[in-house]
């Protein structure tokens, strides 16, 4: 049955946490260039992917469901450094001068609001453009005011908030995260041990009726308290951690091994990365957050309890090494020890020389546009259909996350078909 979806009228404000980061500045520059016809939005599912309809026609997804047009997007956000987006993009050194200069005037006027920041949650960063507020509840209220002020100043009908900032330190889920009442009590009592700055952003966004998308692996919106709040406010939430490089490859290769019933005895993964994210992840407390996210992928796909002879004893190791000369050009190596007929061993080596922000930028844009669509379709709570874009997809306690990229892609298309009342095809699509 066709869903009732409000049209994408007016402007959509995209407020980015970490506005001056490599991913953010790359996404913003590419979006501005695309709407001027200066570049193609390559890698963006919302802008370039197609689906086959019941009548046999192949249509662009953006022509099937009412997504916000890129011309109606306005960018803003927060950062711990005061640079405008042009200067920040130059510093990030991802894009060439000719691409930045083509939209320089638009980039220069996008300036960050002061960030809600706590050095203890990202010890390798020393922000100079931060709110002089330490109390978590007051921090959240200041962010709510920022959202309201931005919406009015930019004449936005809707706003979505995207976390594209650095990974916070690892913390386990605690009692304070299990209900909305408990979370609010912890915020009001200023419990800095369990309430992170990212949680303040997430709460503020949901309170203002804005979707919140988590682009990093730290504990934030993936807690029962936030699920409860998002449903109460009829707001969608999505995350977590952009699935861009090495993990993207794992969600393609692991299903292949399983489909062919080939065994895996070991999977060693290592990376070198030189941007701000790499620097933050050089701290063991922050790296643990990323490690937990990366390690969860193949175990879920392989189902070792179901196939113990093939995957019952996989040795999985993940490493990330900060290497400044590479900047945003991450290099990932995977060594996979597999075995086949009669247990004979084989090896696969993967060397992925990728550009981290070039891969992540379209993911960030798609998550915002699809969450805005979900908001207008009254799809509150966790958007499991957006697992396709996430390294560690959110799921409720009674559910298992889906990591297989091809199953995730089917989930995207089936959700979009359901929105417009189309039946899923009988064949594998």
Tens of pLDDT, residues 79-129: 999 999 999 999 999 999 999 999 999 999 999 999 999 999 998 899 999
Crossing angle of helices 22-35 and 85-92, rounded to 10°: 120
Q: Flag the least confident range among 20-29, 141-150, 243-252, 287-296.
A: 287-296
pLDDT tens, 26-83? Answer: 999 999 999 999 999 999 999 999 999 888 889 999 999 999 999 999 999 999 999 9
User: pLDDT at residue 155 above 70?
Assistant: yes
Cα angle vertex 385, ends 384, 386, to 5°?
A: 90
Q: Pairing between strand 156-163 and 331-339?
A: unpaired
Mean pLDDT over each residue of the chain, to the nearest integer? 94
The answer on pLDDT for 409 being more than 70 is yes
Q: Residue 426: pLDDT band by 50, 70, 90 thresholds?
A: low
Q: What is the 3-state secondary structure (H, E, C) of the chain?
A: CCCCCCCCCCEEEEEEECCCCHHHHHHHHHHHHHHCCCCCCCCCHHHHCEEECCCCCEEEHHHHCCCCCHHHEEEEEEECCCCCHHHHHHHHCCCCHHHHHCCHHHHHCCCCEEECCCHHHCCCCCCCCECCCCCHHHHHHHHHHHHHHHHHHCCEEEEEEEECCCCCCCCCCCHHHCCHHHHHHHHHCCCCCCCCHHHHHHHHHHHCCCCEEECCCCCCCCCHHHHHHHHHCCCEEEECCECCCHHHHHHHHHHHHHHCCCEEEEEEEEEEECCHHHHHHCCHHHHHHHHHHHHHHHHHHHCCCCCHHHHCCCEEEEEEEECHHHCCCCEEEEEEEEECHHHCEEEEEEEEECCHHHHHHHHHHHHHHHHHHHHHCCCCEECHHHHHHECCCCCCCCCCCCCCHHHHHHHHHHHHHHHHCCCCCCCCC
Does the domain at 246-353 match CATH 3.30.70.3420? Answer given as: no
Backbone angles phi, psi at 169, to 5 degrees: -65, 160
Write out pLDDT tens, residues 322-361: 999 988 888 999 999 999 999 999 999 999 999 999 999 9
Q: What is the pLDDT of residue 293?
A: 65
In Å, how far are 187, 251, 380 from 329, measured between CA atoms?
A: 38, 21, 36
CB neighbourhood size of 161 (10 A): 27
Confidence of residue 289 (pLDDT cuts 50, 70, 90): confident
427 — pLDDT class (breaks 50, 70, 90)? low
Tell the CATH superfamily of the 11-242+357-420 domain.
Answer: NAD(P)-binding Rossmann-like Domain (3.40.50.720)
Q: Give the separation between CA 281 and CA 292, rounded to whole angstroms.
A: 13
Confidence of residue 398 (pLDDT cuts 50, 70, 90): confident
Give dist(CA 70, CA 61) in Å, integer.
14
Query: What pLDDT is stored for residue 197 in this prediction?
Result: 97
- Torsional sign, CA 377, 380, 386, 390: positive
**Up-side HSE of residue 193: CA atoms within 13 Å toward CB?**
4
Q: How far apart are CA 303 and CA 312, in angstroms?
A: 9
Domain boundaries, the chain: 11-242+357-420, 246-353
Name the pLDDT band for 420 (thresholds 50, 70, 90): very high
pLDDT at 281: 74
Question: Which percentage of the chain shows pLDDT scores above 90?
Answer: 83
Q: How confident is the model at residue 416 (pLDDT cuts 50, 70, 90)?
A: very high
Is residue 53 a contact partner of residue 196, using CB atoms and an 8 Å limit?
A: no
| Domains 11-242+357-420 and 246-353 alike in fold | no
Residue 327 falls in which region: left (phi positive, over 0), alpha (psi -120 to 50) or beta: left
**The two three-digit tokens of residue 341, written as one number:** 């007929």
Separation in Å, CA 148 to CA 151, 198, 205, 209, 233: 5, 18, 10, 10, 16
Is the pLDDT at 186 greater than 80? The verdict is: yes
> How many Å apart are CA 146 and CA 224, to the nearest integer?
26
Q: What is the pLDDT of residue 119?
A: 94
Per-residue pLDDT band at 150 (split at 50, 70, 90): very high
428 pLDDT above the threshold of 70: no
Mean pLDDT of 295-316: 92
pLDDT at 276: 76
Strand order in the sheet with 11-17: 113-114, 73-79, 11-17, 156-163, 212-214, 236-239, 381-382
Q: CA–CA distance from 54 to each of 59, 107, 313 (Å)?
A: 11, 42, 44
Cis before residue 240, ω within 30 degrees of 0? yes
- Are β-strands 50-52 and 58-60 bridged in parallel, bridged antiparallel, or unpaired? antiparallel
pLDDT in tens, 231-283: 999 999 999 999 988 899 999 999 999 999 999 999 999 999 887 777 787 77
The predicted structure's pLDDT at residue 122: 92
């Amino acid at each position: 049955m066709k869903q009732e979806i409000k049209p994408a009228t007016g402007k959509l404000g995209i407020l980015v946490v970490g506005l001056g980061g490599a991913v953010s500045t790359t996404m913003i520059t590419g979006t501005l260039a695309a709407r001027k016809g200066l570049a193609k939005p390559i890698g963006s599912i919302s802008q370039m992917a197609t689906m086959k309809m019941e009548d046999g026609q192949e249509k662009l997804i953006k022509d099937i469901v009412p997504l916000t047009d890129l011309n109606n997007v306005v960018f803003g956000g927060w950062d711990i450094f005061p640079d405008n987006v042009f200067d920040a993009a130059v510093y990030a050194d991802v894009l060439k001068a000719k691409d930045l200069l083509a939209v320089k005037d638009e980039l220069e006027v996008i300036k960050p609001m002061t960030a809600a920041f706590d050095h203890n949650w990202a010890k390798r960063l020393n922000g100079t453009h931060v709110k002089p507020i330490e109390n978590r509840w007051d921090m959240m209220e200041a962010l709510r005011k920022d959202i309201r002020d931005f919406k009015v100043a930019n004449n936005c009908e809707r706003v979505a908030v995207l976390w594209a900032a650095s990974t916070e330190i690892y913390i386990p889920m605690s009692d304070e995260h299990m209900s909305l009442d408990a979370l609010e009590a912890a915020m009001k009592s200023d419990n800095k041990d369990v309430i992170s700055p990212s949680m303040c952003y997430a709460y503020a966004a949901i309170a203002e009726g804005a979707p919140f998308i988590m682009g990093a692996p730290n504990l934030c919106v993936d807690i029962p308290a936030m699920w409860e709040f998002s449903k109460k406010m009829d707001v969608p939430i999505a995350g977590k951690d952009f699935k861009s490089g090495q993990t993207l490859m794992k969600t393609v290769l692991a299903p292949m091994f399983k489909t062919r019933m080939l065994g895996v005895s070991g999977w060693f993964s290592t990376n070198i990365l030189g941007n701000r994210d790499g620097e933050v992840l050089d701290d063991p407390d922050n790296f643990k957050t990323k490690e937990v996210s990366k390690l969860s992928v193949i175990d879920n796909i392989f189902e070792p309890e179901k196939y113990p002879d093939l995957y019952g004893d996989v040795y999985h190791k993940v490493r990330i090494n900060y290497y400044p000369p590479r900047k945003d050009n991450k290099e990932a190596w995977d060594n996979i020890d597999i075995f086949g007929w009669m247990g004979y061993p084989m090896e696969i080596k993967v060397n992925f020389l990728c550009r981290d922000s070039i891969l992540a930028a379209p993911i960030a844009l798609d998550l915002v546009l699809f969450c805005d669509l979900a908001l207008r379709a009254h799809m509150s709570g966790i958007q499991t259909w957006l697992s396709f874009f996430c390294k560690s997809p959110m799921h409720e306690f009674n559910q298992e996350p889906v990591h297989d990229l091809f199953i995730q892609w089917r989930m995207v298309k089936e959700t979009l078909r359901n929105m417009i009342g189309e039946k899923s095809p009988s064949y594998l699509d």
